[in-house]
Every structure is written in C-alpha cells, then in structure tokens.
Amino acid sequence: MYQSQTVVGRTLASKDPAAADCVWPQDALHCIPDWVYTSNAVYEREVERIFHGRTWNYVALEAEIPSAGDYKRSYVGPTPVVVARAEDGSINVFENRCAHRGAEFCRHGQGNAKEFVCPYHQWSYDLKGNLQGIPFKRGVNKEGGMPRDFRNEDHGLRKLRVTTRHGVVFASYSHDVEPIEQYLTPEILEDFDAVFPGKPLKVLGYYRNELPCNWKMYHENLKDPYHATLLHSFLVVFGLLVAGNKSVMKVDGVHGRHGTMASAKKDDIYAEVNPETKKEMRSFHEGLRLRDERFLQYVKEFDSPWSVTMQTIWPNLVVQREMNTLGVRHIVPNGPDSMLMQWTMFGYADDSEETTRHRLRQGNLMGPAGFLGLEDNEAMKFVQEGVRRSSTDINVLKLESGKVGTSGSLISEAAIRAMYQYYRSVMGF
Ligand SMILES: [Fe+2]
C-alpha cells in the first residue's frame, strides 16, 4: 500500500502520494482510491499520458471561427492553445506560448486577426503558428541582434494535429492517434451524429464556471445514471429521467472510455410515477406544476429514439442534448482539485426565431445555475472535500457488481467501472 502517516492514534492515508506509491486496491473493479482525485503526481501523469497522449481533445466548434482570421483561445487539458482559421480555410491549433520567452501571447477569448503579435517583445506569428518577424533581428547600428544562423522556421509555435467531425474541432499531440470516427466508435458516433448531422451550427451563448473538484468526477457524474434519479429534483418531478423510463447507459465497446446516457421521457410530463419507485426517491414532490409548460415541450427533430443523450467523450468533452437544448461542455482540468467548465450552447443555422427562443428557454436547465446543472456542482464539491480531508480512502462501486460497460439499468455503476479499467491501463495502475 502507499505511504501512510499516523495521526492521533489512527492511520491517515496520504492524500498526495508520489506516483510510485500509488497501488490500486485489490478489488480493482469495485474500488476507486482517493489518490486519483488528490495526488499532484497522478495529475501530472494524466496530463502527459491522457491529454497530451493518444487522444482527440475538443477545442472549438467550427461555427465559432467561420472566416479567415477568426480565432478562439482554448485548452488541451490544462494547456492553453489558440484555434485559428488561416487564409486557405484550414483550421490550425497551436500552443498559446510565445516561442521566445513563453508568454501566453493571445489575450482575447475570440476575435479576428491577420497575425498574432506577442505583447512582450512583439515577435509575430501567422495564422498557422509560423514565426514571421522579430523586431531588431539584425540589431541596431550593426550591434546586437540575432545570430546569422537563426532561422525563423525553427522557432514557430508548437503545433497540434487537427481534425473535425461535422463542425466539431478536435486537436491532438499524438502523431499516431486513430481517425476521429474510429476514435469515437460506432456506438458513440450514432448519438453524436444525431446532434451534429453535418448541418451548420449557430452559437447561442456561453456559460463558464470553476468547479472545486477533480476533472474525472465530471465524467463519472455523467456515467452515473443512479444519481440522476435521486439528486435532481427537476428531472424526477417532471419525468425527464425517472427510474423506470426507457433508458440506457451506453459505453463504447473498444476501450470503455466514452459513454452515452440516454433516456426517453414519457409524453405526459405529469404522468403517474410508479408508487414503488416513488418511495425510493426523496426528491420526488407530488403535484408540482410548471407555470410555463412550453419549458418542457419536446419538439421531435432528431434521428433518435431518445429525448435526452448526455455523451462523455474522453478526455474533455460532453455533448449534451436535453430535449431541444443543445450544448457542448469543455472540461479544462486545473490541478487535481479544480477544473473549469466551459459551456457552449448552440442551435442550427437554419433554425427559425421561434426554435431559437425555445432552445434558449430550455437552456435554463443547463449552466452553473441551471435547474439540473446546479446540483451536480454542489455534489462534486462535497465529494472533493470528503476525499481530501477524510481518513478513509476508498470509494465503493458495487451497483450491478461485476458488470463492465453498457447497461440497460439506471441503477448501475458499470460505465464508471469501464472508464477506470481503461484509465488504469493508460496510467499504469
Ligand atoms: Fe447530475
């Protein structure tokens, strides 16, 4: 076992062990050790092997950078990057770090530019990240300046590989990661393409918040349909996701790292819930009615049997379709105990004004204060506080014990198990 220290007569597990001291508990499938959420060394290995490893990381929607010169600041894992569209229409992703002294040169969230100029010493880069110009390259009055053999070509920004799928832009540090369609796998692609069928998107707005928890907790949360039926009053009361509805928790069959939580709500939002089911759910409140029932209208527009699909795409993307509200959530890890969440809400370019208004209205479900975004933030904060400050050190995952992968039951932890089985193989635990 990893290092322990004795505190007032009892054993306190180290919450920040070195990677070499991290040994996964014996019953590997049904236990998660606290150090995956708290160790700095584990976090550093995750950045290296996962975010900078053989993965495709979400960075932007093409709709955010439609024209030449358009750019957006983004992140791959915690690493700041710029996503830019060049004159030839290509999308380029490079690190937001000046090749000279390391300044994060791009300071605006979004914009249009002919070139990027670092504010510190005004080194300039083109829209593909190539070094263009250096002030006083030849010095002044034949004194100072760069050596004769300095070549701009050798000092460009660090460039990443880029791919797109139906308007969604991904970047990778890996030279041999598989094509995006293969990476996503057929079972995940099916629901992904229902949201992104290839028609032009229209960005409707953003939410942004910091969560005082480990980034993996967000993946777990969306691979955990059990909590959805218990924590979220709104889902339960208005029948959006109720134990007993037609639903599935899908997991990709290749690695087990991506997932889709899918459910079909009943047409009648006030439909009678089975009394047996009701008894198990403390968050069910009888007789609540909405003032504005348009809020929960589901206009069928997708090639899908589901009214909700929540997809976790490893390692940093959530694709969210809750009835007619659409969004992507970009997970930006920020150390073992903090993450940023960037929500981009969108519709389609050919939506009518009425449809746009409907999507925006339903968008109130989402975001840091959304009717069902709200409780997750709080719950994950509680978990981080618990694992960080307690003396015990194991999380228990025994629902539908032994099963790994896709499950037809909401009362299951089989998808979380699949993710950690994959995680352990990549991380060497
Ligand atoms: Fe939730």
Residue type (1 letter), 427? M
Predicted confidence at residue 4, as pLDDT, reads 45
Give me Rg for the CA atoms of the chain.
24
CB 384 within 8 A of CB 220: no
The yes-or-no verdict on residue 218 having pLDDT over 70 is yes
Q: Is the peptide bond before 315 cis (omega within 30 degrees of 0)?
A: yes
- What burial class does residue 307 get, using C-beta atoms within 10 Å of its C-beta: 0-12 exposed, 13-18 middle, 19+ buried? buried
Rounded distance from Cα 28 to ligand 1 centre (Å): 25
- What burial class does residue 394 get, using C-beta atoms within 10 Å of its C-beta: 0-12 exposed, 13-18 middle, 19+ buried? middle
* Inter-CA distances, 337 with 15, 38, 116, 156, Å: 11, 6, 33, 33
Rounded distance from Cα 239 to ligand 1 centre (Å): 15
The yes-or-no verdict on residue 10 having pLDDT over 60 is no
Q: How confident is the model at residue 358 (pLDDT cuts 50, 70, 90)?
A: very high
As a whole number of angstroms, the distance between CA 202 and CA 34 comes to 41
Mean pLDDT of the chain: 92
Distance of CA 24 to the CA centre of its chain: 25
Predicted confidence at residue 121, as pLDDT, reads 97
Rounded distance from Cα 320 to ligand 1 centre (Å): 12
Residue with the bigger pLDDT between 278 and 157: it is 157
Rounded distance from Cα 414 to ligand 1 centre (Å): 17
Predicted confidence at residue 268, as pLDDT, reads 66
The yes-or-no verdict on residue 9 having pLDDT over 60 is no
Predicted confidence at residue 229, as pLDDT, reads 79
For ion ligand 1, residues whose CB falls within 5 Å:
376
Enumerate residues 6+ apart whose C-beta is below 8 A from 427: 42, 45, 46, 49, 50
Q: What is the mean pLDDT of residues 44-56?
A: 98
Q: What is the mean pLDDT of residues 305-316?
A: 96
Rounded distance from Cα 376 to ligand 1 centre (Å): 5
Rounded distance from Cα 416 to ligand 1 centre (Å): 14
Residue with the bigger pLDDT between 398 and 6: it is 398
